[in-house]
A and B are shown apart, each in its own frame.
Chain A
Amino acid sequence: MKKKIRVLVCKPGLDGHDRGAKVIAAALRDAGMEVVYTGLRQTPEMIARAAVQEDVDVIGLSIHSGAHMTLFPRVLDLLKQAGATQILLTGGGIIPEDDMAALRKIGVGELFGPGTPMDKIVEYIRAEVPKRRTVGA
């Protein structure tokens, strides 16, 4: 049986702008993935904990508050502490090109700006996840 791709879609920050997160969650579901949605106002600790417990392949963060340069590194660090470095950390929002490059350098995956077609995100996840699957007996 082909293993399902599991994705955690999160919306950190104090704002209630969950439109992007919900649209992408629905698109990933329609692409056959199992999407765990955790709701608004998630702290990095809550995100990392949920990702570990749910054993997801991918975390997608939707960030509108401008705090991407603190949130992505923080989540990455917590995943490292938990030994869950195989998880692909990706996301979207309004993120300047320089910041995207800096985040990629520390191990964050592709980041998607507004207006990205949903198919592109689906394809990226489908291509990236098999490279990271590691469980073997």
Chain B
Amino acid sequence: MSDTVDELVAGLFRSDARATARLITLVEDEAPEVARIQSAIRDRVGRAYRVGFTGPPGAGKSTLVAALAKHWVNDGESGRVARVSIVAVDPTSPFTGGALLGDRVRMTSLDPSVFIRSMANRGRLGGIAATTDGVCDVLDAYGSDWLLVETVGVGQSEVEIAECADVTVVVLTPGTGDSVQLLKAGLMEVAEIVVVNKADRPGADSLVAEIQSIVGMRPHSDVPMPIVSTVATENKGIDELAKTIEEYRTQQVSRGLLETRRKRNLRAKIQRLVEARLRREIWGGKGASEELDATVECILRKEETPWDASERIVKKWIR
């Protein structure tokens, strides 16, 4: 049985899970069909509200995402059940290229209507995969009302999520010490809502206070940043977090900020695509690897400096 892109897209528009999943795979594998898929679905992209979640490992992001999904499925707008989809990103092993994607473990009790897709970051730093954004487009066209994206969470500065989400939620926990460090190291730049999860643990109040003081030091601190305390495992604070996100969205829409935000994201996306394409052109071509080896030898023989070599290679491609 072989599926054509047209058949799969037709399936996607009928909200068929299998067709949707296969399209996601094509996007994830950066298959030649991607351009056609993008143009076929573009009229349906833009309806879902995309919420990105980032934060250190062990912050309880999966549990929090699952709890929010449950909330929105049960609490659909205008009496209709909302469609919620989840994209969860995990790291690829740099040594083997393999990955263990374990986020579904914490999402087993979700309603069958929730579409969950696990992704490996396939070597991309920054918390998401190079194609996460494209995968989100497919799930958007699938008819999702809420699209929740969970980043890798290995404790590095996972800020790229901000470039493909409508709102970025930073999840922290008390008592780990690294939370505040991470905030200062860059997470604060992208945070629009901060969640203090596991707020029943000691140190929650002081963490909130610390976050408030850091928020106050932001260069554009005219907009107050919501800080919500939750205990996701016990479903505490989830209603409030959902309401906070909904209000944030309403604000964005009424002040025209959502459109600005999406334009900015689109700009970043084009840049990413161009960079990825260039990288493939330069390093993926025939003989590129051998040429690189030869250049290394040249440099070791002191015939060329690394700077000169890079100039020479770039000039070959750009005139």
**Chain A contact residues, CB within 8 Å of chain B:** 1, 3-4, 6, 25-26, 28-39, 41-42, 45-46, 49-50, 52-55, 82-86, 134-137
Contacts and interface: CB of A to CB of B under 8 A. Distances in A.
21 contacts: A4-B29, A4-B120, A29-B96, A29-B100, A30-B98, A33-B98, A35-B101, A36-B118, A37-B101, A37-B104, A37-B105, A38-B108, A39-B104, A39-B105, A49-B112, A50-B116, A55-B18, A55-B22, A82-B17, A84-B18, A134-B3
A28 B104 CA distance: 18
Contacts of B18: 52, 55, 82-84
Interface in B15-45: 17-18, 21-22, 24-26, 29-30, 32-33, 36
A40 B112 CA distance: 17
A36 B105 CA distance: 9
Interface residues of B, number: 37
Taking chain B's interface residues, is the majority helix, strand, or loop, or is none over half, making it mixed? mixed
B4 A137 contact: yes
B99 A35 contact: yes
A82 B18 CA distance: 7
B118 to A, nearest CB: 5
Given A30-B96, A34-B98, A41-B108, 8 more contacts: A4-B29, A31-B96, A32-B97, A34-B101, A49-B112, A53-B115, A54-B21, A84-B18
Given A82-B17, A134-B2, A136-B2, A1 B30 contact: yes
Nearest to B17: A52
Given A1-B29, A31-B96, A36 B24 contact: no
- Between B1, B26, B101, B120, the greatest number of chain A beta carbons within 10 A of the residue's beta carbon is seen for B101
Interface of B: 1-5, 17-18, 21-22, 24-26, 29-30, 32-33, 36, 92-93, 96-102, 104-106, 108, 112, 115-118, 120, 122
Contacts of B29: 1, 3-4
A25 B99 CA distance: 9
